Structure 1
């Protein structure tokens, strides 16, 4: 007996979900039907990045809640995602719009244990006398510091009036705990001091001191008495590890000989020593610096987080655990690094990043009256909502990268997509980001549309994204999942800096019904322009002859480059177009060059050629 009637979703939603799951070859066929004929088309929004995707969802849900309340209805909305780490951006977007929400099937992002661990590490780095944070991380991950050692440290702190951090220093110096505990405490102490040195710009000096200090008798005795366990090894300091700890700024082959020596350098650190060759002389390092045309990299909160994750072996231990929960925690840690990279892009310091995390955690009190639900697809089974956002429809994210090589797993991902789509009762919106940041990369990386988007029938889907183009209005009618380049730039991304939250991608284009008339602009001359200088002399009765302007060079190079396209510049070399602003003579494009970073160029003068 086949149960084929669906009592939840509209016909359009059910038909689209059935078309997706029909691509599973191992599925037993059945034809689902519903008495809820018609319904609005499925919305599709292609965001420029993950943050914009989340802000679009928050904006749409805010309007939906307001309109539903005006109609006297009880609104409910859900945002579904493949991995729990995706919740961070949506949580922050909801808070920016003042919307109450609750996370189902887990904690909010900054309340998860692994996130609180890393935040506590950062707090100790910022203020070593923060005893509460220090006690949380002193043996996390396990490094052989037991309850007896901690009790001894607390007693020492109480008797001497020192903080726990000061007690650790005294216990190591005076050998007040067993030899193994001394080695573990010194390892923990070294991690914190190294991280603090990174932020203070004294990392090179710190490495020199570490290498020059001879091994103490206690450490020799501890090594002879019993070898350090694997857990101890995960946090033991080894200067050779820093051969892999470097910031890749794309130095040329001629500079590769000093790459290791400059790994982890800070703005105020001395250039004469490196992480793997601390015996280099000042003269050699000075010559190396003279050969390099790049400044020493500044250390951000994200860099410190990567350092902590590497030195503590946190992710390594989770990988050895090899469970779905462990991999979910790894993704959360990587998303925290992404959050720190976003903080760096906003020019925030470590203090400001910690303040932001604290404010977010305080605002995350559970509200059972919240009408917005954030949850993973696995937690959504059996639930239903009038409005559903299914987010992150990108290859490697949904379907997940761990399932790409096994056909059975891909079919399970497709069934999961079917489950997510059929949670919607009245309105379903699919979203993806053209660019998404991956584990703290300096710039977001281009993504590939999910195969599930291609499997949704074109007549059932329409693009959304502007204030006046709502689900249920005229369909744009492009095939689902087509790349942005194929659309020749005809997108409608939200501009959240605009007061009226309307699309500004094609502002002033009379061919578009949703465009606003361009405001008249007044030409403002620069204070040091030829015209102003001439007026200055004229006001004093003096003559001023303006010099003849040099002939303007004709623009060279190709036109019409689009995001994701590879280009070549005569000075900066090959790069990838990251963003395009405007069209025609005034078009500006932002290009990511591996060696030179982001460069914003006026297209008609950029002399760019296809790579």
Structure 2
């Protein structure tokens, strides 16, 4: 039986019923790569397997690794070596050479996106194709700012383990509202936005857009429309939102996007069962928007869906094209690349703040980081933003908070990594730049960079 660490309890019971004595039975697996509890897999199956039989099953350890450099394996072994329970094994390789994995500190999400893109392009200039590089992350929405930056720089990419950020239905909906407010005669955006409302179908949407097109006054055109009974309760809020955004009767940018989100949230909850997950994307969109000077600049620089792009599927380029790989860690299991970047190696992301309820959950989060690290063949960069944005806090609201490096890389194993500050920052104790390194105000640099877009 292969991949035994990914089996569930029912599968284990069937196997043990087929072979109650264990004679003639071999299972193969890696307890350090058991990461699918959300599919009901349990690491207990492989950890408890030897003790299911009398005499106990023999354990054969396969420790030679044919993928990664010795330095990457040393760091990975150090991370998984802190697990509360595991089969003891240290991976080794006959490969020679290679630098330590990089532990890169950046200011925030924008700095993280900049760092990854710059390093990816450096690798490409050195002869490494985009396809030989991958960016991994714990949750699909973590890649949002990076996707925007890749799009802005015209760098092709494919995302696995979730839709491309700009292809997700709820993100498209939000952008369509802004486009309609910017130009009420945009029929593509209008058809999309109007049909968000309950009771509005293609015929009524066309009727509203025809009235807007025939009238110089958007507010008057909307007022003349008699909404269906099922739409009547939602129509005034929609009318006021579009008119206020169109006539600039708002608090300005990016507060306008927040107004759109507040209007859209009830519809999000009505339309989607996973509204809470999708809401995280919309909060991320708000953070991205804050880096643009105006609504016009924001809409101009994003690649928006053309009239025919009505599918939520993120297309994969032709096989002979070159593109960067973006993937959740779960979707990356079993894969390998020459260079791997792991985003958001901070508490709250790895481990996820939703995965720290029990010791078992925390241990699986540790294994997730281990899986991500061991995807790398030649180069590995773990990125730790110094601050992150949190939302929906009960008492203090949305805000930036200082981020802590993931608990899975405590101080006593950091020697396995090369510490890198990007760009050079005024660091705290124990993280001072090398002598002679220029001290740059990263916050000022980022503000200047975003302001010039």
Taking structure 1 as reference, are residues 314 and 339 closer, same or farther at Cα in structure 2, changes over 3 Å only?
farther
Pick from 141, 151, 170: which aligns with 1:114?
Answer: 170
1:389-400 residue pairs with structure 2 within 5 A? Answer: 389-400=341-352
Say if 2:68 and 2:377, in contact at 8 Å, map to a contact too: yes
Say if 2:344 and 2:350, in contact at 8 Å, map to a contact too: yes
Partner of 1:101: 157
Aligned length: 372
Pick from 281, 303, 317: which aligns with 1:358?
Answer: 303
Structure 2 gap segments, 5+ residues each: 1-59, 308-313, 448-453
Give, in whole Å, the separation in 2 of the partners of 1:7 and 1:408.
30
Partner of 1:548: none
Shift of 1:60: 1.9
Give, in whole Å, the separation in 1 of the partners of 2:409 and 2:328.
19
Partner of 1:23: 82
The answer to whether 1:334 aligns with 2:286 is no
The answer to whether 1:40 aligns with 2:96 is no
Greater relative CO, 1 or 2 (CA 8 Å, sep 6+): 2
What do residues 538-576 of structure 1 show as CA deviations (whole Å, max 9, x unaligned)? xxxxxxxxxxxxxxxxxxxxxxxxx9xxxxxxxxxxxxx
Partner of 1:186: 236
SS at match of 1:46: strand
Give, in whole Å, the separation in 1 of the partners of 2:429 and 2:123.
31
Give, in whole Å, the separation in 2 of the partners of 1:88 and 1:17.
27
What do residues 150-171 of structure 1 show as CA deviations (whole Å, max 9, x unaligned)? 4245357669974798765323
Shift of 1:124: 1.8
Partner of 2:366: 414
Taking structure 1 as reference, are residues 21 and 171 closer, same or farther at Cα in structure 2, changes over 3 Å only?
same
The answer to whether 1:463 aligns with 2:419 is yes
Partner of 2:253: 300
Structure 1 gap segments, 5+ residues each: 202-265, 267-298, 470-482, 493-502, 508-562, 564-577, 582-589, 591-611
Shift of 1:504: 6.0
1:174-573 residue pairs with structure 2 within 5 A? Answer: 178-196=228-246, 199-201=248-250, 266=251, 299-301=252-254, 303-314=255-266, 317=269, 321=273, 323=274, 326-343=275-292, 348-358=293-303, 367-368=317-318, 369-438=321-390, 444-454=400-410, 457-464=413-420, 484-487=427-430, 489-490=432-433, 505-506=438-439
Rg (Cα) greater in structure: 1
What do residues 441-476 of structure 1 show as CA deviations (whole Å, max 9, x unaligned)? 997432111112227723321124589x9xxxxxxx
The answer to whether 1:83 aligns with 2:139 is yes
Shift of 1:16: 1.6
Taking structure 1 as reference, are residues 391 and 13 closer, same or farther at Cα in structure 2, changes over 3 Å only?
same
Shift of 1:78: 1.0
Shift of 1:352: 1.5
Give, in whole Å, the separation in 1 of the partners of 2:74 and 2:268.
44
RMSD: 3.9
Shift of 1:402: 1.1
Give, in whole Å, the separation in 1 of the partners of 2:282 and 2:291.
14
SS at match of 1:388: strand
Partner of 1:145: 199
Shift of 1:117: 0.5
Partner of 1:123: 179
SS at match of 1:358: coil
Pick from 80, 93, 109: which aligns with 1:50?
Answer: 109
Taking structure 1 as reference, are residues 358 and 41 closer, same or farther at Cα in structure 2, changes over 3 Å only?
closer
